[in-house]
Amino acid sequence: MNQTLTLALSKGRIFDETLPLLEAAGIHVTEDPEKSRKLILTTSDPQLRVVIVRASDVPTYVQYGAADFGVAGKDVLLEHGGEGLYQPVDLQIAKCRMSVAVQAGFDYASAVRQGARLRVATKYVQVAREHFAAKGVHVDLIKLYGSMELGPLVGLSDAIVDLVSTGSTLRANHLVEVEHIMEISSRLVVNQAALKLKREKLQPIVDAFAKASLREK
Residue among 29 and 76 whose Cβ is closer to ligand PRT: 76
Q: Of 27-35, 153-161, 164-172, 195-203, which segment contacts ligand PRT by CB under 6 A?
A: 164-172
Residue among 187 and 198 whose Cβ is closer to ligand PRT: 187
Residue among 5 and 14 whose Cβ is closer to ligand PRT: 14
Residue among 157 and 186 whose Cβ is closer to ligand PRT: 186
In angstroms, give the least distance from the CB of 196 to ligand PRT: 28
51 binds ligand PRT, rule: CB under 6 A: no
Give how far Cα 112 sits from Cα of 64, 92, 132, 175, 201, Å.
42, 33, 10, 18, 52
Residue among 58 and 139 whose Cβ is closer to ligand PRT: 58
Q: Of 73-81, 84-92, 104-112, 188-196, which segment contacts ligand PRT by CB under 6 A?
A: 73-81
Q: At what angle do helices 199-214 and 13-24 cross, to 10 degrees?
A: 110
Number of residues that this document lists for the chain = 217
Rounded to an integer, what distance in angstroms lies between the CA atom of residue 118 and that of residue 40?
44
With H, G, I as helix, E, B as strand and everything else as coil, classify residue 78.
helix
Rounded to an integer, what distance in angstroms lies between the CA atom of residue 82 and that of residue 154?
34
Q: Of 82, 169, 195, 210, which lies in the binding site for ligand PRT, with binding defined by CB under 6 A?
A: 169
How many Cα atoms within 13 Å fall on the side-chain side of residue 116?
14
Rounded to an integer, what distance in angstroms lies between the CA atom of residue 68 and that of residue 61?
8
146 binds ligand PRT, rule: CB under 6 A: yes
- Asked whether the beta carbons of 190 and 63 are under 8 A apart, the reply is no
Rounded to an integer, what distance in angstroms lies between the CA atom of residue 16 and that of residue 33?
10
Largest distance between two CA atoms of the chain:
62
Instruction: Spell out, one character per residue from 85 to 124, where the chain touches ligand PRT: x when CB under 6 A holds, - when not.
Output: ---------x-x----------------------------
Q: Of 161, 162, 173, 181, which lies in the binding site for ligand PRT, with binding defined by CB under 6 A?
A: 162
Q: Of 51-59, 84-92, 110-118, 173-181, which segment contacts ligand PRT by CB under 6 A?
A: 51-59
Footprint of ligand PRT (CB under 6 A): 10, 12-14, 54-56, 73, 75-76, 94, 96, 146, 162-169, 184, 186
